[in-house]
Structure 1
Amino acid sequence: MKRSVIWVLLLLSSLVSASIAGYWLATVQMKKEQLPDASPVNNKHKVLYYRNPMGLADTSPVPKKDSMGMDYTPVYADNIATDSAIANTAETERKILYYRNPMGLPDTSPVPKQDSMGMDYTPVYADEQVATGQVKISTDKVQKLGVRTEQATLRKLVNTVRAVGQFQIDEQRLATVTAKFEGYIENLYVNATGQPVKRGQPLMQVYSPELVSAQEEYLIALNGRKSLKNGTEESLSGVDLLAESALKRLRNWDISDAQLQRLQKDGKATHTLTLYSPANGFVLEKTAVQGMRFMPGEPLFKIADLSTIWLLADVFEQDLALVHVGQTVNISVDAYPNKALSGKVAYIYPTISPETRTAKVRIELANSGGILRPDMYASMQLMSGHNSKVLAVPDSAIIDSGTRQIVLIQLAEGLFEPREIKVGMHSDGYTEVLEGLGEGETVVVRANFLIDAESNLKAALGSFGEHQTKRQATATSSSNTAPATNHEGH
């Protein structure tokens, strides 16, 4: 019995061992099938190292995980070979002309080198070179700079000149009433300042002893001519000369022909003389007073015709070139804001005020109804410009150095060229181009200063490179021609 039990246990133990051995053999076979084939083709997939899955500068020779539990990415040998081949091909196809300073300084080198800070010089390739004076910028950089362009087009430019001024009396319509003899005012018919008068209207009646004496002399000469009509020629000539002298004196005193005819007709000297208004208008000044004595040349009335009035506008000196005689001017006054007024430029005064830097411009306009008064303030607006369209570009397109004006022309996508132009008038954000640009050409209107700065930098680098090449050539030539020194035997 005991021996049977032992045989059963041995049999069971053998079965368990056989099962374990079979499982182990099956597992080993599966692993062998999963292992990569050690053929020459699979050798290319050899893992060189493992790199950080987040792209950080961290590698490992064996598989590992980062702090977040992510597996490092394997880098295979065939990937490195492919990248190197592509890079070598690209480098071979792109010819390096020279190396430039990484900080943008005017320093170049024909071979790779580093600056004082250990930074590698940047290679400049042949396909990056453009014609002299041009600058090439990548599309990505153009977008980052915010470059904006616009075509040069024909447009009508109009400048608006604005100024303020005061109304003044038309000096050509101003009259002063005076007497050329001494006398007294017997009767004053116009006795208020501001009173309207008409041409030929009686102003006052005056008495003058000199005037009465001159009339009597003239009458005596006339009567003597009549009484001596049968006299000798010599006597008649003397009387005529006396009469003419008296008549001339009366006319010099502004005695009218009508008054002289009445004197001749009545044959009697009048003790008073009426003075009349010489023009239509208003009495601006009146010194005449009833019964006063006046002297020759003393102003008694000042009369102004206000049917036409002047506006003296103060125009700034920078706007004077836009103002011309004959131009139409729009005028507005605070007293009549809804009334449209207009006049014409009649005269531009030849002097400038040193305090305000303005010049007086005279504008003549009709004063219908007399609503405009002397010394009233007014604003004027004058439109000046070309009658036809002119070539113009936005003001922002022009880089003004003070001595010349430059625009940047877009020749192609990312390719620009600075060009000097001559400019004319400015209006509403645009400038007239007189020379240097054609219709339809595209100019940079935004970020042009940045492109111009790069253009100047490249020009400086190119100039420096040329000088350096010449200097190296000179040094090489000098070394070749220098006499050799024999040091043998030392």
Structure 2
Amino acid sequence: MKKNSIYIVIGMTIFGLGLLAGRMFFNSTAPTIEGHDHVEDTKEEETIWTCSMHPSIKQPEPGLCPICGMDLIPLEANTSQDPTALTMTNEAIRLAHIQTQPVGQDGKNETSNASWLINGKILPDERQVYAQVPHLTGRIESLEVTYEGMYVKKGDKIADIYAPDIIAAQREFLEAQKLKDINPALLESARDKLRFLKIPASFIENLENTGEVVETFPLLAGKSGYVLNKKVEVGDYVSSGQVLFDIYNLGSLWAVFDVYEKDISKVERGDVIEFSALGVPDQKFKTRIDFINPLLDQDTRAIRIRGQVANRGGVLKPQMLIRGNLLSGSDTKTGPMMIPKTAVLWTGRESVVYVQDTTMDIPTFTFREVTLGSEIGSQYQVLDGLAPGEEIVTNGVFAVDASAQLNNQRSMMNRMVDAPHSDEHPDKIEPVDPEEVTEEARGDLELVLQDYINLKNNLVTGEPDPVQQSLEDLSAVLDQLNEREDMEAHNAAWNAHLKNFKHHLNLMNKETDVAGWRDEFVSLSTVLIRWVMEFGNPGTEKVYVQHCPMANSDHGADWLSMDEDIRNPYYGSQMLTCGITEDTLMQP
């Protein structure tokens, strides 16, 4: 009993000490630390949970994603504030097998030597084909050319012709010679008759000295080359100007290739083709395109392109089959900007890629619309929308787009999400200080602007020939302009405008009718407006920025004009005065 009493006393003592400690801990006033808020500290340390595939899901506690059912993970810091940007975790990147690569610099891009195969054949150069014809009428008494493929040299005798007309002319000459003292004019007239019949002076001199009439006359080869298309035999009667056979100079040939309708936009004059012939498999040849047939073959749906090739050693033969690589932009031209097909969500000319923001700590991708050009091998040429050095998704792009779609962010199927305005918008272009624009640069821009205005005025009237001439004039001016190196910090911006303008002018030159020219004029005008806004009006007259809301498929389009009155280049006489003046650019 006594022992139990001791246990009770000890227990009560421990309980009392516990109450005292609790009272001191919970009821005493905590010391205040200046400048430190425990509530804020708790909030800062609060973890936000998100889905690796659907970053728009954010919850204060762990759980499952309400969209896909995956476990939520802690949200990492440093996310993009762009509403069109999609953030993904490293785990999601791994699961979706997403890969990226930088867009190559023009001329340094590994794909700038992209090529595609075309088939063709060797043909004679039609400019090197000579039609052998007689200059007299008669009967072929002998023929030195006995088979096709025979080689003849210029001046070689190829036939003897019995020509009654020449015999009669010789006799008239000899009769006139007898009367030269009485009537010298008659002799000169007879001499002229022989000369007009293409009788050589040496033959006439021999006739005058010997007095003997020659009954057969030699026909000499007019060119050196190989005889083809032989059309006469011994005993045939021939007329003056009748083609006896053709003489082919095979030292220069044509390499002719067929380009199908879908590939026509890939070729232009000056492109280089490297080819090999089936009959000469161990040699490579090169030619440069100097002619593109303007007519499409209705049966094959192809056009023919050709280039000249020197036939050294005569190894190439007409009708040989050849296979060529068209080197897009090789040798003399800057390589095009190319991206892999796997990077593109193809929706036509205006397609979609995803660009990675490399400044972010976590993977962040932005939807980007790009303008595609030619399809070359496993790549597309990019005309607009990307810059060299930007990182794009090349593998797993569908996974990125699907995540954006599920997050109600901008995607291939959902393009209505607003994106931040680009700094390149004309209203936000920061003008260059006029004192930093050299007189040479201002003069170059004035030449471009003048020819652009002429082009615009001719598009207003809509007459094809003047428009074509204006394009040629503007192209000639652009051909003389080189990249600038005299404006220090502004060289890059100037050269970018120049390159962009040349590119869109080249696209415009590829069109063949007024409708096509007007379509391409939209982009050309946009480039020049930005150029002039940034570097200033180069002339002394006002330049007006005018706008038609109905042009460009109701998306609207701008143009520059020296006339304040609206003269619409996109519709011409159909809606001549449709538009408004949006801005006036004065001389700086």
Per the TM superposition, whether the score is higher than 0.5 is yes
In structure 1, what is the equivalent of residue 124 of structure 2?
169
For 1:409, the equivalent position in structure 2 comes to: 355
Name the aligned partner's letter for residue 370 of structure 2.
Answer: I
Cα offsets for 1:101-139 (capped at 9, x unmatched): xxx9xxxxxxxxxxxxxx9xx9xx9x9995422233344
Q: Distance in 2 between matches of 1:311 and 1:319?
A: 18
- Cα–Cα, structure 1 residues 370 and 151, in superposed 2: closer, same or farther, change >3 Å? closer
State the partner residue of 1:359: 303
Matched residue, 1:273: 217
Q: Which amino acid aligns with 1:349?
A: N
Q: Kindly state the Cα deviation for residue 252 of structure 1 after the two structures are TM-superposed.
A: 4.0
| SS in structure 2 of the partner of residue 452 of structure 1 | helix
Percent identical pairs in the alignment equals 24
The residue number in structure 2 matching 1:199 is 154
Tell me the TM-score normalized by structure 2.
0.51
What's the CA shift for 1:202?
Answer: 0.9
Aligned residue type for 1:450: A
Q: Secondary structure at the match of 1:158?
A: coil
Does 1:256 pair with 2:225?
A: no
The Cα of 1:349 is off from its aligned counterpart by 1.9
Please give the alpha-carbon distance, in whole angstroms, between the structure 2 residues aligned to 1:394 and 1:194.
50
**For residue 256 of structure 2, what is the aligned residue in structure 1?**
312
Q: Give secondary structure in 2 for the equivalent of 1:190.
A: coil
Select which of 329, 342, 358 maps to 1:396.
342
Residue 293 of structure 2: SS of its match in structure 1?
Answer: strand
Q: Does the aligned pair in 1 maintain the 2:113–2:335 contact within 8 Å?
A: no
Partner of 2:87: 136
**Does the aligned pair in 1 maintain the 2:116–2:376 contact within 8 Å?**
no
Mapped to 2, the partners of 1:429 and 1:262 lie a distance apart of 74
CA displacement at 1:196 relative to structure 2 = 1.8
Query: 1:212 aligns to what SS in structure 2?
Result: helix
**In 2: Cα distance, 1:222 partner to 1:263 partner:** 11
**What's the CA shift for 1:415?**
3.1
Does 2:395 correspond to 1:451? no
Alpha-carbon distance in 2 for matches of 1:129, 1:164: 50
Which string of whole-angstrom CA distances, capped at 9 and with x for unpartnered residues, describes residues 301-337 of structure 1? 3322222222222133444444444554333222221
Mapped partners of 1:424, 1:279: distance in 2: 47
Compared CA separation, residues 320 and 247, structure 1 to 2 (3 A)? farther
- Cα deviation for residue 438 of structure 1 reads 4.2
Aligned mates of 1:332, 1:455 — CA distance in 2: 48
- 1:158 Cα offset (Å): 1.8
CA distance in 1, matches of 2:243, 2:387: 67
Aligned to 1:52: none
For the Cα contact (< 8 Å) 2:143–2:160, is it kept in 1? Answer: yes
- What residue identity is the alignment partner of 1:398? V
- Separation of aligned partners in 2, 1:277 and 1:164: 36
1:67-106 correspondence to structure 2 within 5 Å = none
TM-score scaled by length of structure 1: 0.60
Task: Using the TM superposition, give the Cα deviation of residue 435 of structure 1 relative to its aligned residue in structure 2, in angstroms.
Answer: 4.0
Corresponding residue to 2:96 among 133, 145, 154: 145
Distance change >3 Å, CA 177–CA 131, structure 1 → 2: closer
Matches within 5 A, 1:376-395: 376-385=320-329, 387-388=333-334, 393-395=339-341
For the residues of structure 2 that align with 1:463 and 1:331, how far apart are their CA atoms? 44
SS at match of 1:254: coil
For structure 1, the residue ranges without an aligned partner over 5 or more in a row are 1-36, 42-88, 97-103, 105-118, 230-235, 467-490
Matched-pair contact (CA < 8 Å) for 1:158–1:427:
no
- Residue pair 1:397, 1:448 contacting (<8 A) in 2 also: yes
Contact 2:338-2:382 within 8 A present in 1 as well: yes
Query: Alpha carbons of 1:292 and 1:418: their partners in 2 closer, same or farther (altered >3 Å)?
Result: closer
Alignment of 1:366-381 (within 5 A): 366-381=310-325
Task: Note closer, same or farther for the CA distance 1:296–1:382 as it changes in structure 2 (3 Å cut).
Answer: same
Note closer, same or farther for the CA distance 1:359–1:200 as it changes in structure 2 (3 Å cut): same
Please list every run of 5 or more consecutive structure 2 residues that lacks an aligned counterpart in the other structure: 1-13, 19-41, 55-68, 419-588
Write the letter of the residue equivalent to 2:137: E
2: CA distance between counterparts of 1:384 and 1:416?
30
Give 1:150 shift. Answer: 2.5
Query: More strand by proportion, 1 or 2?
Result: 1
- The 5-angstrom pairing of residues 403-442 of structure 1 reads 404-411=350-357, 412=360, 413-424=362-373, 429-442=378-391
CA separation of 1:222/1:164 partners in 2, compared to 1, >3 Å: closer, same or farther? Answer: farther
Judged with a 3 Å threshold, the aligned counterparts in structure 2 of structure 1 residues 221 and 394 are, in CA distance, closer, same or farther, namely same
- CA–CA separation in structure 1 for the residues paired with 2:308 and 2:417: 67
Q: Secondary structure, in 3 states, of the residue corresponding to 2:234?
A: coil
Cα offset for 1:201?
A: 0.9
1:133 and 1:459 in contact (8 A); partners too: no
Determine if the alignment matches structure 1 residue 221 to structure 2 residue 176: yes
Distance in 2 (CA, whole Å) between partners of 1:403 and 1:282 is 50
Partners of 1:172 and 1:220 in 2: CA distance: 45
Q: Classify 1:40/1:374 alpha carbon distance in 2 versus 1 (closer, same or farther; 3 Å).
A: farther
CA distance in 2, matches of 1:374, 1:455: 58
Q: Displacement of 1:249 after TM fit?
A: 4.0
SS of the aligned residue for 2:114 comes to strand
Q: Aligned in 2, Cα 1:465/1:166: closer, same or farther, shift over 3 Å?
A: closer
Structure 2 distance, partners of 1:359, 1:39, is 105
SS of residue in 1 equivalent to 2:408: helix
Match for 1:310: what amino acid?
W
How far, CA to CA, are the matches of 1:327 and 1:153 in structure 2? 21
The secondary structure found in structure 1 opposite 2:83 is coil
Contact 2:99 2:393 in 1 (8 A): yes
Q: 1:326 and 1:226, CA in 2 relative to 1: closer, same or farther beyond 3 A?
A: farther
**Distance between the aligned counterparts of 1:207 and 1:165, measured in 2?**
45
